[in-house]
C-alpha cells in the first residue's frame, strides 16, 4: 500500500534532518566522493563449507534491484530464524518475510497504538539477539516522543511480553537517531541524535554528560545496568553497521555535508560534531581544532545528485555476490543513489557508484540484511533486493 503523496512530502522534509535549519541556496564548494564503478569481468569460484562441490559464477555484469514487496514505509529488515526475516514498518508493526520474499498477511507485532509516528519519529529499528532468536529488540518513539528500547519474546510466531530496557526523553522531534544493532561483544548499540533543532541547539554534540549525540551501549541481559555513552560527537546517526570490530556510521549533516565515518568499536571515539561537519570546520570564521577527532572517510556535498540526508548502510557478507564482499553500501533519502566503499588497513581503499546500474528507486529510508546475508534497500513504499546480473 502506497502512502499518499502529500504525506510523503511531509516525511521527506522531516527526514532531511533540517527541520529547523535553513536550506542553502548555493552549495559550498568542496570535494565530492563519487568514482567510476569497477565491475568484475572474470568468473568467481566459490567453495561451500558444507558441500565439497565447487560452483563457478558467471562474470558479474551489474547489480540490479528486484522488487520484493510494497509496504507502507518499511523502515528496517533483519534476519530472524529458520530462514525467515523480519520487516518493520514505521507505524509500529513487524512482519515476517519468507525466504522467497513473500510478506505475511498479518503482523507478528503491532504496537502502533503506542508509537508516535510523525516525521522522524516512529518505529525506527529492530535487532535480533545473535545468541537467541526468540529475543527481538525494538527502538521506537513512545507516546510522548521519548526514545524507547524494548525486548519482545517470540512465542508461537508472535512477538509478545514487552520488557522496556531503556528510555530517554527527546527535546525535539528531529534527530532521534534510529539504529539498533548487536556488537560482537554482546552489547546492544543504539544511535542517538543530538536532540534536534539546528546548529546543535541543545549543546549535546560534545557534552559527555548526556547520551544524546552518541552511540550508546546497552546491556540486554542486565536490566539494572546503566546505559553507557560509548562514542560521541554525532549529529544524527540514523543508520550504522558493525562488522569485523569496526563501526561504519552514516551521520546526517546539516547544510553542507553528509558523512560516513569508520572507526574501531572502542569506547571514547569523538566524531567531531559540531566542531566539524564532514571534514570541514562547522563555523569556519572561528576556526576549529580537529586534534583527537575521528573525521569521516567519505563526505557527500549537498547538491551532489540531490543529496539531503545520508542513509546507511550495511557491509555486504552474503554469498550470492562475492565480488562486493566487505563493501559498505549507503544511499540518500533524497538522492536515492547507491554507492559503496571498501575500508582496509585503517583507510579508505576504494569507492564505487552503482546508481547507473540499479537506478533510483525513490526515497531510500534504510537498508537490511536477510537470514541468508543478502542485502535489501528500503524506500518509503517498497522493499528491494540487491541482486547480481551475470553474463549469459
Report the pLDDT value the prediction gives residue 54, as an integer from 0 to 100.
Answer: 52
- For the chain, percent of residues with pLDDT exceeding 90: 83
Q: How confident is the model at residue 193 (pLDDT cuts 50, 70, 90)?
A: very high
In tens, the pLDDT along 125-162 reads 999 999 999 999 999 999 999 999 999 999 999 999 99
Report, in this order, helix, strand and coil percent for the chain, each rounded to 5.
5, 40, 55
Report the pLDDT value the prediction gives residue 392, as an integer from 0 to 100.
Answer: 83
In tens, the pLDDT along 245-266 reads 999 999 999 999 999 999 999 9
Report the pLDDT value the prediction gives residue 14, as an integer from 0 to 100.
Answer: 38
Span of 19-28, 95-104, 188-197, 331-340 with lowest mean pLDDT: 19-28
Ordered domains of the chain (ranges, CATH):
5-16+59-390 (2.120.10.30)
Q: Which of 227, 209, 206 is nearest to 271 (CA)?
A: 206
377 vs 342: CA distance, rounded Å: 19
Report the pLDDT value the prediction gives residue 223, as an integer from 0 to 100.
Answer: 80
Indicate whether 44 pLDDT > 60.
Answer: no
Per-residue DSSP letters for 105-146? SS-SEE-GGG---STT-SEEEEEE-SS-TTEEEEEEE-TTS-
Indicate whether 218 pLDDT > 80.
Answer: yes
Indicate whether 34 pLDDT > 60.
Answer: no
Amino acid at each position: 500500500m502506497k502512502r499518499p503523496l502529500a504525506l510523503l512530502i511531509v516525511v521527506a522534509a522531516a527526514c532531511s534532518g533540517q527541520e529547523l535549519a535553513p536550506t542553502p541556496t548555493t552549495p559550498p564548494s568542496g570535494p565530492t566522493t563519487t568514482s567510476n564503478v569497477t565491475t568484475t569481468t572474470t568468473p568467481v569460484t566459490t567453495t561451500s563449507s558444507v558441500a565439497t562441490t565447487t560452483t563457478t559464477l558467471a562474470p558479474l555484469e551489474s547489480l540490479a534491484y528486484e522488487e520484493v514487496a510494497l509496504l507502507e514505509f518499511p523502515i528496517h529488515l533483519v534476519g530472524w530464524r529458520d530462514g525467515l526475516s523480519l520487516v518493520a514498518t514505521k507505524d509500529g508493526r513487524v512482519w515476517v518475510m519468507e525466504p522467497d520474499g513473500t510478506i505475511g498477511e498479518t503482523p507478528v507485532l503491532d504496537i502502533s497504538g503506542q508509537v508516535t509516528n510523525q516525521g522522524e519519529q516512529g518505529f525506527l529499528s529492530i535487532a535480533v539477539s545473535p545468541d537467541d532468536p526468540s529475543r527481538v529488540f525494538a527502538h521506537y518513539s513512545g507516546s510522548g516522543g521519548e526514545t524507547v528500547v524494548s525486548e519482545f519474546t517470540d512465542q508461537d510466531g508472535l512477538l509478545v511480553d514487552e520488557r522496556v530496557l531503556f528510555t530517554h526523553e527527546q527535546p525535539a522531534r528531529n534527530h532521534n537517531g534510529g539504529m539498533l544493532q548487536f556488537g560482537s561483544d554482546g552489547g546492544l548499540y543504539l544511535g542517538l541524535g543530538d536532540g534536534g533543532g539546528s546548529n546543535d541547539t541543545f549543546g549535546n554534540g560534545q557534552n559527555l554528560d548526556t547520551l544524546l549525540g552518541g552511540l550508546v551501549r546497552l546491556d540486554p541481559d542486565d536490566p539494572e545496568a546503566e546505559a553507557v555513552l560509548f562514542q560521541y560527537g554525532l549529529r544524527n546517526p540514523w543508520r550504522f553497521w558493525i562488522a569485523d570490530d569496526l563501526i561504519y556510521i552514516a551521520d546526517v549533516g546539516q547544510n553542507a555535508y553528509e558523512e560516513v565515518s569508520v572507526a574501531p568499536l572502542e569506547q571514547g571515539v569523538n566524531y567531531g560534531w559540531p566542531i566539524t561537519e564532514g571534514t570541514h570546520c562547522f563555523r569556519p570564521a572561528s576556526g576549529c581544532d580537529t586534534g583527537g577527532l575521528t573525521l569521516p572517510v567519505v563526505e557527500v556535498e549537498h547538491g551532489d545528485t540531490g543529496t539531503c540526508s545520508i542513509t546507511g548502510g550495511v557491509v555486504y557478507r552474503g554469498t550470492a555476490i562475492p565480488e562486493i564482499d566487505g563493501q559498505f553500501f549507503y544511499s540518500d533519502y533524497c538522492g536515492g543513489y547507491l554507492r559503496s566503499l571498501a575500508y582496509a588497513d585503517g583507510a579508505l581503499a576504494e569507492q564505487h557508484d552503482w546508481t547507473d546500474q540499479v537506478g533510483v528507486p525513490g526515497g531510500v529510508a534504510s537498508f537490511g540484511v536477510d537470514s541468508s546475508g543478502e542485502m535489501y534497500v528500503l524506500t518509503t513504499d517498497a522493499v528491494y533486493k540487491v541482486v547480481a546480473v551475470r553474463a549469459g
